[in-house]
Amino acid sequence: MRRTPLTPRPSDPGFSQSLVDNFFEQADGTLKEMQLSLASQNLEALSRQGHFLKGSAAALGIVKLKRAFEKIQYLGQGKDETGAGSSAPDQALARIAQLMNDVDAALAEAHRAFAAYYQA
């Protein structure tokens, strides 16, 4: 039996909008946790949290956020931003702090774009 993709009709974006809304709720909570993890210098937790949000951002096609969270994941594992080399804990924490600013800007941009889409 051939299945058709489950996509909402353009006149009924409720399903996709609920996914987007859930992402922003999850992101808000997880970003607060990430700030606490950064303050306590918990690289392992930052890696897990970055991994979690990376997957959610990727599922929604938010590439800037996916890339930033992937870098945080790698840095939290003691790797460099590409996942190939290594980084010292103090350097990783400093870079993650910078990336968190990038995340805030990219998250606000994504929120505006989705809000405009669903209001149209």
**What does the pLDDT read at residue 3?**
43
> What averages of pLDDT result for each successive group of 10 residues across the chain (120 residues)?
45 78 95 98 98 96 96 97 95 97 95 88
Q: What is the dihedral of CA 93, 105, 23, 54, to 10 degrees?
A: -40
Which residues lie across from 83 on neighbouring strands?
none
pLDDT at 15: 78
Q: What is the pLDDT of residue 11?
A: 55
Question: What pLDDT is attached to residue 91?
Answer: 97
Supply the pLDDT for residue 120. 61
